[in-house]
Amino acid sequence: MPLKILHTSDWHLGHSLRDWSREEEHRAFLAWLLDRIVEEAVDVLVVAGDLFDTSNPSAAAQQLFYGFLGRLRAQHPRTRIVLVGGNHDSASRLDAAEPLLSALDICMVGCLPYRGNGHGLADLDLERILVRLADSSGKVEAWIAAVPYLRPADFPDEFSSLPMPEATAALYGHLAAALQQRRAPVLLATGHCFVVGSDRSEGSERVLVGGAESIGAEAFPAEFAYVALGHLHKPQVLAGRLYYAGAPLPFDMGEGDYKSRVLLLEVGDGSIRNPRPLMIPRWTEVQILPSKNEAFSVEEVIRWAEMQPLAGSTPPWQRPFLELRVEKASRSMGLWTKLAGILKDRLPRLVKLTEVRGEGESRSYEVGIQLQDLLPMQVFEQRWRQRHADVPMPAPIREAFAELLLGVQEAER
């Protein structure tokens, strides 16, 4: 029997869109995922980072996560589980659970692990990073290098002076060589990063700082037949072997068109088959109206809202998320309040009201947006525009803020 591996990523447990919790959507996804693992007799589950939405997840989010692991162990105990941290996760929080999870045959790598007090190549804890993957008969068909999101301080001392792309390539090269010494039949790896040439969602994916934006496909040695990537929410493949599974839910209004999936691949007799996508149901729709290239007038948007059906018995968490696009002349908090009142008991949930400034212009204003909806760089960019009108932000200022942000992220870890 071939070795069956299921690759998923970017769960973002604990996420909320505006003030709306995604807990029930996540609960539905995890139930669906467990059913697929049992139905497909999956040997290995790989989750490539961003298990949680924040570095300090709520008790409800952690209960969802650990509850899923417990149910998976009970219903399909032989599935090997490989989990790595992402840039949204607290590496130290994930690693704190590692001693318990390893006793349950669950591999958890929050941060690149070292033995003792050393921080060199010889100190890398390869026993935690390099994981055997066996089929249902116990035959080892592949090994995987479980690499989490990499921060500049995580690299071995020998690579610390290298630019981020070169340090990343050196690390993966070292791990590939270590796997070859173990006579691994098929080599796989995980990663949580932005690879040059991939398509990122600007609305919900944090800009990785410290040079991590410029990782080329060549950083992953050809010995790795499949690289299970996380961080980007849009499913995509690069260089024929670098796969982003994508996110299970749309985490931003601009992600409503993404076709959410997990990937199921089979390994056997020293070869790997192209992964098969398993499409994830969409429990809650995301709507942008009238369309990304049009806008309602004030009269049209009010008339449209008044025509929407009542929510009735539809569970609150399954009511569609709605962004309405309106003409520039209609910009006012009064319009937001009026529309929110009309739609309060109706099926759509108004989460975003965007003013379209004019044809051919890329900027738009959002009415009713809250600070919690924005990423740090977005807040900084908005403040810059308020102070400097249409003067573009100079690259050195952006880079200086990125360095400050990196310091905060390091402190959170």
pLDDT of residue 129: 96
Residue 330 and residue 301 in contact, taking contact as beta carbons nearer than 8 Å: yes
- What are the residue ranges spanned by the domains of the chain? 3-279, 286-373, 377-413
Query: Which residues face 364 on adjacent strands?
Result: 356
Q: How far is CA 147 from the centre of its chain?
A: 15
Q: 188 forms bridges with which residues in the sheet?
A: 144, 226
Its CATH class, for the domain covering 3-279, is alpha beta
Cα atoms found within 13 Å of the Cα of residue 159, Cβ hemisphere only = 24
Place of tokens 């590692």: 98
* pLDDT computed for residue 91 by the predictor: 94
Give the tokens for residue 340: 């929110």
191, with CB counted inside 10 A (0-12, 13-18, 19+), is buried
Q: How many CB atoms lie under 10 A from the CB of residue 170?
A: 17
The set of residues, in sequence order, having a beta carbon less than 8 Å from that of 311 and lying 6+ positions away, is 319, 345, 346, 347
Kind and range of the H or E run holding 227:
strand 224-230
User: What pLDDT was estimated at residue 1?
Assistant: 82
pTM, to two decimals: 0.86
Q: Which two tokens stand for residue 57?
A: 């997840």
* Chunked mean pLDDT (size 10), the chain, 413 residues: 95 92 97 97 97 94 97 95 96 94 94 93 95 91 96 92 93 96 94 90 54 78 96 94 96 92 94 93 95 86 95 95 84 80 94 77 49 65 65 75 70 55
Structure confidence by residue, pLDDT tens digits, 329-355? 655 668 888 999 999 999 999 999 888
Whether residue 168 contacts residue 193, with contact meaning beta carbons closer than 8 Å, is answered with yes
The reported pLDDT for the residue numbered 362 is 37
Compute the distance between CA of residue 394 and CA of residue 399 in angstroms, rounded to an integer.
9
Query: What's the Rg (C-alpha) of the chain?
Result: 23
SS3 125: coil
Of 178, 182, 233, the C-alpha closest to 48 is 233
Residue 203 has what pLDDT? 58
